[in-house]
């Protein structure tokens, strides 16, 4: 017998699918003659119905008899989300009051089972709208998301007692682009592109601004489709974006008096298809796109005519086994060499393709990595491809010799600092020091790392920065640094960390770039400014206020 569930105001109905007739009706309590709304329903295999309603109640019902098993009134506002684990012995509920409560199925002394309230947390600042369980290989985690834009991951084995993982809602795809020659910053929004002129400092040695950044242009998309990707050339004369239907290309005319004019290139070749990733070459003569059909297109920019060349991704490879890879996996990272001769792409399945832009052909397929690549860039002059995966492992691959560099082999064998690798944020951008190509900058949302490949690697156990727990222990006096042995160890670690330096000054760090005049551009947005744009939270009485 199959059954289905629907809800309408204060009514829950159980019916037979073939007939569609109501078999059972369960009526909930009302408040001040107002119908109670049921926001979330979960049904277990033994036909226990778990509901979350607008009265703040989480209730357990016998779906066969329509009777109430147990009711918990632990929320002061609507319960919007309810989820249950695979064993169906643990339930989580949350809602408007941002309180996430755990309920456990326990066995009494007489052998009878009953639901009981367990732990609760308040990790979110606003309403929690969604809950989900991740259960794999005897490991389980709870995921929650809500109005505050953050995603929280909790360990279900130590729920309420262990540290949780916070995944901020900052974009992992490039949405801020820098025209390094023109010193223009372009910000991609849902249906528009915003252009900012960077400010000027008093002198090269000062960070004080003589002229503040100014917003001088906003380019709106005519259609209601969201912008998928965008790019701006280094000279600031070309910009392009793509939605799911077509690519739009524009010619920018900028004057010294900050006045600007935009001219759309109306007649593009019919061969150009929508893009998933796009980038201009350093010489600003080509626009390279990865299409939604898994092909690479090279668009040649000319004031007289626009031409395009297409290179298909390899379907079969005789030297590398790709049988377990999805040929339609979307590309997440695109990199172009500084001389414009090579282009590399990486998709979510771990396939890395290198293309010869100069001869318009596929060059090679790199060995598959065990983790997804999150950032990729070509080293200037040498065209060595630098890759970073989700585990923060850094690889340097020599395309010409088709093998890893000596530094990369040493780093893979010795390992990088564990304190940095264990941090939950991912590396989203790779830059190179304009004064030294052997020093790279690895950017994540909470810091950037200066990695010097010419100096010895630090030990894996080196302490690069103080954690919140360290600061707390130092504040309450539990951490003592007065012994000479401890001072000697710290001095050795600082000397070893010359090859691995961390900057946590800018948080959250949304963008990191380098201008042609060798100045560094950072874009950050404070959490306070994000909070100001969010709706107000539910007022609740706090102790001492």
At 280-317, the pLDDT tens digits run 999 999 999 999 888 999 999 976 789 999 999 987 55
Mean pLDDT of 189-206: 85
Q: How far is CA 68 from the centre of its chain?
A: 42
- In this structure, are residues 225 and 244 in contact, taking their beta carbons and an 8 Å threshold? yes
Residue 545: band (very low, low, confident or very high) from pLDDT cuts 50, 70, 90: low
* Domain end marker among 167, 196, 212: 167
Q: State pLDDT tens for residues 160-187.
A: 887 788 888 888 888 999 999 999 999 9
User: Is a pLDDT exceeding 60 seen at residue 431?
Assistant: yes
Tell me which DSSP letter residue 31 carries.
B
Mean pLDDT of 73-77: 93
The tokens describing 29, both together, are 């309590």
Residue 319: band (very low, low, confident or very high) from pLDDT cuts 50, 70, 90: very low
431/339 same-domain check: yes
396/378 same-domain check: yes
Q: State pLDDT tens for residues 112-148.
A: 899 999 999 999 999 999 999 999 877 899 999 999 9
**Backbone phi and psi for residue 472, each to the nearest 5 degrees, phi listed first:** -65, -45
Residue at 7 is within a domain: no
**Could you give the number of structural domains in the chain?**
3
User: Is a pLDDT exceeding 70 seen at residue 40?
Assistant: yes
**pLDDT confidence of residue 346:** 94
Residue at 46 is within a domain: yes
Q: State pLDDT tens for residues 509-540.
A: 999 999 998 889 999 988 888 888 889 888 77
Q: Cβ–Cβ contacts within 10 Å for residue 431, how many? A: 17
The tokens describing 486, both together, are 């401890």
The tokens describing 289, both together, are 């796109």
Q: How far is CA 220 from CA 213, 351, 360, in A?
A: 21, 35, 33
**pLDDT confidence of residue 174:** 87
CA nearest to 357, candidates 338, 385, 330, 370: 338
CATH number of the domain that 354 lies in? Answer: 2.130.10.10
380/360 same-domain check: yes
231/284 same-domain check: yes
* Domain end marker among 312, 341, 367: 312
Residue at 28 is within a domain: no
Mean pLDDT (the chain) is: 86
* Domain end marker among 167, 202, 232: 167
**pLDDT confidence of residue 289:** 97
Residues composing the chain = 545
**Cα separation, 16 vs 20, whole angstroms:** 5
Q: State the residue range of the domain holding 140.
A: 38-167
262/307 same-domain check: yes
499/351 same-domain check: yes
Q: Which residues contact 230 (CB under 8 A, 6 or more apart)?
A: 175, 177, 186, 188, 193, 239, 240, 241, 242, 278
273/225 same-domain check: yes
User: Is a pLDDT exceeding 90 seen at residue 387?
Assistant: yes
**pLDDT confidence of residue 152:** 94
Residue at 284 is within a domain: yes
Q: State pTM to two decimals.
A: 0.84
Mean pLDDT of 450-468: 86
User: Is a pLDDT exceeding 50 seen at residue 8?
Assistant: no
**Long-range contacts, 462-469 (Cβ 8 Å, 24+):** 462/417, 462/419, 462/493, 462/496, 462/497, 462/500, 463/419, 463/490, 463/493, 464/417, 464/419, 464/420, 464/497, 464/500, 464/502, 465/419, 465/502, 465/504
Residue at 292 is within a domain: yes
Residue 151: band (very low, low, confident or very high) from pLDDT cuts 50, 70, 90: very high
Residue at 399 is within a domain: yes
66/79 same-domain check: yes
**Cα separation, 17 vs 12, whole angstroms:** 15
**pLDDT confidence of residue 498:** 81
Residue 17: band (very low, low, confident or very high) from pLDDT cuts 50, 70, 90: low
**Cα separation, 92 vs 103, whole angstroms:** 6
- In this structure, are residues 450 and 439 in contact, taking their beta carbons and an 8 Å threshold? yes
CA nearest to 74, candidates 98, 40, 38: 98
Angle at the Cα of 501 (from 495 to 503), degrees rounded to 5?
Answer: 140
Q: Which residues pair with 354 in a beta bridge?
A: 344, 364
**Cα separation, 382 vs 93, whole angstroms:** 55
**Cα separation, 275 vs 273, whole angstroms:** 6
Q: Which residue has the higher pLDDT, 59 or 202?
A: 59
- In this structure, are residues 82 and 58 in contact, taking their beta carbons and an 8 Å threshold? yes
**Span between the terminal Cα atoms of the chain, in Å:** 55
55/200 same-domain check: no
162/188 same-domain check: no
**pLDDT confidence of residue 13:** 53
229/251 same-domain check: yes
Residue 73: band (very low, low, confident or very high) from pLDDT cuts 50, 70, 90: very high
Residue at 279 is within a domain: yes
**Cα separation, 387 vs 115, whole angstroms:** 50
**Long-range contacts, 392-398 (Cβ 8 Å, 24+):** 392/416, 392/420, 392/421, 392/423, 392/426, 392/427, 393/421, 394/442, 394/451, 395/369, 396/453, 397/366
Residue at 10 is within a domain: no
User: Is a pLDDT exceeding 90 seen at residue 370?
Assistant: no
391/362 same-domain check: yes
Q: Which residue has the higher pLDDT, 376 or 171?
A: 376
User: Is a pLDDT exceeding 60 seen at residue 59?
Assistant: yes
């Amino acid at each position: 017998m199959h059954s289905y569930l629907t809800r309408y105001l204060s009514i829950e109905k159980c019916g037979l699918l073939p007939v569609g007739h109501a078999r059972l009706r369960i009526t909930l309590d009302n408040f001040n003659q107002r119908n109670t709304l049921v926001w979330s329903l979960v049904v277990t295999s033994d036909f226990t119905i778990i509901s979350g309603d607008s009265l703040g109640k989480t209730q357990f019902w016998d779906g066969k008899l329509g009777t109430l098993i147990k009711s918990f009134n632990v929320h002061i506002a609507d319960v919007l989300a309810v989820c249950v684990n695979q064993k169906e012995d643990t339930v989580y509920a949350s809602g408007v009051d941002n309180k996430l409560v755990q309920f456990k199925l326990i066995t009494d002394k007489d052998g009878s089972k009953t639901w009981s309230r367990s732990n609760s947390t308040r990790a979110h600042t606003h309403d929690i709208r969604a809950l989900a369980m991740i259960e794999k290989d005897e490991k389980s985690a709870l995921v929650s998301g809500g109005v505050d834009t953050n995603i929280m991951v909790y360990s279900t084995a130590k729920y309420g007692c262990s540290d949780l993982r916070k995944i901020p809602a900052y974009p992992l795809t490039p949405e801020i682009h820098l025209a390094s020659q023109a010193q223009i910053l372009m910000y991609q929004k849902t249906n528009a592109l915003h252009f900012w002129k960077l400010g000027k400092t008093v002198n090269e040695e000062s960070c004080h601004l003589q002229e503040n950044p100014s917003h001088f242009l906003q380019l709106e998309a005519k259609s209601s489709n969201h912008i998928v990707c965008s790019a701006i050339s280094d000279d600031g004369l070309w910009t392009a974006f793509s939605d799911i239907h077509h690519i739009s290309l524009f010619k920018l005319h900028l004057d010294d008096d900050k006045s600007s004019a935009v001219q759309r290139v109306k007649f593009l070749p019919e061969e150009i298809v929508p893009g998933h990733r796009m980038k201009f070459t350093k010489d600003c003569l080509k626009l390279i796109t990865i299409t939604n059909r898994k092909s690479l297109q090279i668009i040649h920019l000319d004031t007289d005519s626009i031409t395009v060349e297409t290179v298909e991704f390899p379907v079969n490879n005789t030297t590398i086994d790709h049988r377990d890879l999805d040929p339609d996996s979307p590309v997440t990272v695109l990199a172009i060499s500084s001389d414009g001769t090579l282009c590399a792409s990486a998709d979510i399945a771990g396939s890395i393709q290198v293309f010869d832009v100069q001869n318009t052909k596929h060059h090679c397929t790199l060995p598959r990595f065990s983790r997804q690549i999150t950032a990729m860039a070509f080293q200037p002059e040498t065209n060595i491809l630098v890759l970073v995966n989700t585990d923060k492992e850094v690889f340097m691959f020599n395309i010409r010799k088709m093998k890893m560099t000596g530094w990369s082999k040493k780093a893979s064998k010795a390992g990088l600092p564990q304190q940095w690798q264990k941090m939950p944020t991912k590396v989203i951008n790779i830059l190179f020091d304009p004064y030294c190509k052997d020093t790279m900058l690895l950017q994540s949302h909470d810091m950037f790392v200066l990695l010097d490949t010419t100096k010895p690697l630090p030990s894996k156990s080196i302490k690069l920065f103080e954690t919140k727990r360290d600061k707390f222990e130092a504040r309450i006096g539990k951490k003592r640094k007065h012994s000479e042995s401890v001072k000697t160890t710290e001095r050795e670690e600082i000397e070893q960390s010359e090859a691995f330096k961390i900057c946590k000054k800018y948080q959250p760090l949304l963008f990191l770039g380098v201008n042609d005049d060798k100045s560094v551009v950072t874009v950050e947005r404070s959490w306070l400014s994000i909070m100001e744009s969010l709706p107000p939270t539910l007022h609740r009485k706090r102790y001492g206020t």
